[in-house]
């Protein structure tokens, strides 16, 4: 099997064609796809017609699927979360730069999104390479933040508003309505050994041991820095696209520019480790 790989930008990302994920995959092809993912941080496998069972089986070749903490999944497939914006809604799910569920003790290794229904125009997703964001910092700032950890919470107002409509419809019964994790500002990727900047405006509230007010200025600078255009790629979705990105070193932002139209993707997140 010969995979066709087309880079999305100079900074990250690749489109992949020439594989049918509804069919059994050899270990060789699975390894090729994973290596492309580690190299490009996000890969988009085009033209996939997958049932929920086939989608889950492929995800299990990649890692351990885990349920989203605040929403129920599809009937019979609880680890597949519908990411939906209805025609009548103005707010899109996760509509802010972020890495998925960074407020957990073990944030997910990867996220998969399968395009099921798309608007006729708009609805792209931006990604940003956090290896490059780390490398782009001055040596002085790297030294100052070495060993510093940041606090991540699930209830920051801007991001919690983006999921409220879905929680009202299909929310889980949870012990508490917020979660918190504390992770290194610079995390080391367990597979590549490379360092990545690991803060995000959706979930990071402050540096550990600092007040929110003391943290605000430096965090705002890091947020601006980590989405420089040269670090980014842009996914223009097509029906049947399966995007897989590495949450350990990539941020993403779904653009909310398609009011009055419906957009539905099916999400699977894969278990990760404790950031170090």
Residue in this structure with the two tokens 């590549």, named with its chain if needed: 192
Residue in this structure with the two tokens 């605000």, named with its chain if needed: 216
| Catalytically annotated residue among 166, 252, 263, 266 | 252
Q: For residues 105 and 108, give the distance between their C-alpha atoms in angstroms, rounded to a whole number.
A: 10
Q: For residues 249 and 42, give the distance between their C-alpha atoms in angstroms, rounded to a whole number.
A: 10
Q: For residues 205 and 174, give the distance between their C-alpha atoms in angstroms, rounded to a whole number.
A: 22
187 a catalytic residue? no
pLDDT score, position 70: 74
98 a catalytic residue? yes
Question: 62-88 b/e with 16+ CB inside 10 Å = b?
Answer: bbebbebebbbbeeebebbbbbbbeee
The ranges assigned to domains in the chain are 4-270
| Catalytically annotated residue among 46, 153, 166, 267 | 267
pLDDT score, position 172: 45
pLDDT score, position 173: 55
153 a catalytic residue? no
| Catalytically annotated residue among 98, 163, 166, 263 | 98
Question: 159-175 b/e with 16+ CB inside 10 Å = b?
Answer: bbebbebbeeeeeeeee
Q: Give me the long-range contacts of 172-180 (CB less than 8 A, separation at least 24).
A: 172/69, 172/70, 172/71, 172/72, 174/69, 174/70, 178/103, 178/153, 178/154, 179/69, 179/101, 179/103, 179/104, 179/153, 179/154, 180/103, 180/151, 180/152, 180/153, 180/154
Q: Is 233 left (phi over 0), alpha (psi -120 to 50) or beta?
A: beta
Tokens linked to 125: 């997703």
- pTM to 2 decimals? 0.92
| Catalytically annotated residue among 40, 46, 100, 266 | 100
pLDDT score, position 167: 47
40 a catalytic residue? no
Class for the domain spanning 4-270: alpha beta
Q: What is the pLDDT along the chain (276 residues), one digit of tens a residue?
A: 689 999 999 999 999 999 999 999 999 999 999 999 999 999 999 999 999 999 999 999 999 999 988 778 999 999 999 999 999 998 888 899 999 999 999 999 999 999 999 999 999 999 999 999 999 999 999 999 999 999 999 887 655 454 445 445 444 455 555 689 999 999 999 999 999 999 999 999 999 999 999 999 999 999 999 999 999 999 999 999 999 999 999 999 999 999 999 999 999 999 999 999
Nearest to 110 by CA among 242, 235, 272, 252: 272
CB-based contacts of 168: which residues, under 8 Å, 6+ apart? none
CB-based contacts of 181: which residues, under 8 Å, 6+ apart? 102, 103, 104, 105, 107, 151, 152
């Amino acid at each position: 099997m010969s995979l066709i790989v087309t880079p999305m930008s100079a900074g990250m990302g690749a489109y992949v064609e020439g594989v049918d994920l509804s069919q059994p995959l050899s270990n060789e092809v699975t390894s090729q796809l994973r290596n492309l993912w580690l190299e490009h941080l996000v890969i988009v496998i085009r033209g996939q017609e997958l049932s929920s069972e086939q989608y889950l089986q492929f995800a299990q070749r990649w890692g351990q699927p885990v349920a989203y903490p605040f929403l129920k999944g599809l009937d019979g497939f609880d680890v597949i979360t519908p990411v939906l914006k209805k025609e009548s809604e103005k707010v899109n799910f996760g509509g802010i730069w972020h890495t998925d569920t960074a407020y957990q003790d073990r944030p997910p290794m990867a996220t998969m999104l399968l395009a099921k229904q798309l608007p006729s125009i708009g609805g792209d997703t931006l990604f940003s390479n956090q290896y490059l964001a780390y490398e782009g910092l001055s040596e002085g700032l790297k030294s100052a933040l070495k060993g510093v950890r940041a606090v991540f919470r699930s209830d920051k107002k801007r991001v919690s508003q983006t999921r409220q409509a879905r929680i009202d419809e299909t929310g889980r019964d949870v012990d508490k309505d917020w979660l918190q994790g504390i992770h290194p500002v610079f995390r080391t990727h367990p597979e590549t050994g490379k360092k990545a900047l690991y803060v995000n405006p959706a979930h990071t509230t402050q540096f550990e041991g600092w007040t929110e007010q003391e943290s605000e200025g430096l965090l705002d600078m890091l947020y601006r820095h980590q989405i420089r255009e040269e670090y980014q790629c842009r996914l223009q979705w097509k029906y049947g696209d399966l995007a897989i990105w590495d949450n350990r070193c990539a941020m993403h932002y779904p653009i909310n520019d398609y009011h009055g139209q419906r957009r539905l993707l099916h999400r699977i997140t894969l278990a990760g480790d404790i950031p170090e």
